[in-house]
Structure 1
Amino acid sequence: MELKSDHLEELSHLGHKTEYKMDYAPEMLETFVNKHQDNDYWVTFNCPEFTSLCPITGQPDFATIRIDYIPDVKMVESKSLKLYLFSFRNHGAFHEDCVNIIMKDLIRLMEPKYIEVTGIFTPRGGISIYPYANYGKKGTKYEQLAETRLFNHSFPLP
């Protein structure tokens, strides 16, 4: 049975040998066409093994990165997202920077209707940091959604 192509031949990571980048690599991200542009729905990615480096000490930081978005025309391909997130492993950035960089890269890539990225970083020196960033497409109801979710954001503590 032959699968109908929706530009899947343009994906360079899926179905090929995995090549891991050793530093921040936004060029790893790839998209495919959303087949359900006529309705809104959430897509959630959960990456419980995210690592980056403290830009001051060089020590590793560990986190769960959660990405929730409402797609428009393009969607991020999951293997490319995994490779992109892995590329932070040797990259020095503060927790808040990681979350905002990830969100901004995905906005540039997909132009989603709405997106939010949460970092649930493990404790370091007795303190945990949980940065949250979001975005709604300007001039749409998603811009209002972003404002509402940001101003009402709270993270349930364990």
Structure 2
Amino acid sequence: MKTKVKAFTLNEMVIVMIISTVVIGLAFTVLSLVQKHMWAIQENLKFNTELNRLEEVLWIDINNYNMLFYNDKKNVLKFKTILDSTSYQFHDNYVLRDKDSFHLKIDKQRYYFNGVQVYQGKVDAMKLSMSRQHKDLDLFVFKLNDAKRLMD
């Protein structure tokens, strides 16, 4: 008794393999696109987190310390009170606050006292401009002057 076993022909198998190859190729292409977008989202989140941390710490320090001084030669911003002080050092790719670092590239720094831009000495406001790759974001922090500050 000869019975025929049902099976696919060689042509049918080749067509199935070609279709499978195309589907798997499309799946990997979509996966790589999704991964690229996820990396971009992660980098964006990382930058925004660092920027928010820096902004929060600057606002806290500018309101806690009553004397602010900027040294253009050393590129250092100092916050002082009678009992305590802290300093910010601005480097090419990061900002250092005492032992804390913020990995942000700041293109321009502008410091103001009573609405006039200063390059050294007392400061009551600052504008930090981020790099162009981050859509020209600016960070502006200011301190309201009291009578004691204006008398010094």
Task: Tell me the TM-score normalized by structure 1.
Answer: 0.26
Q: Greater strand percent: which structure?
A: 2
Q: Greater helix percent: which structure?
A: 2
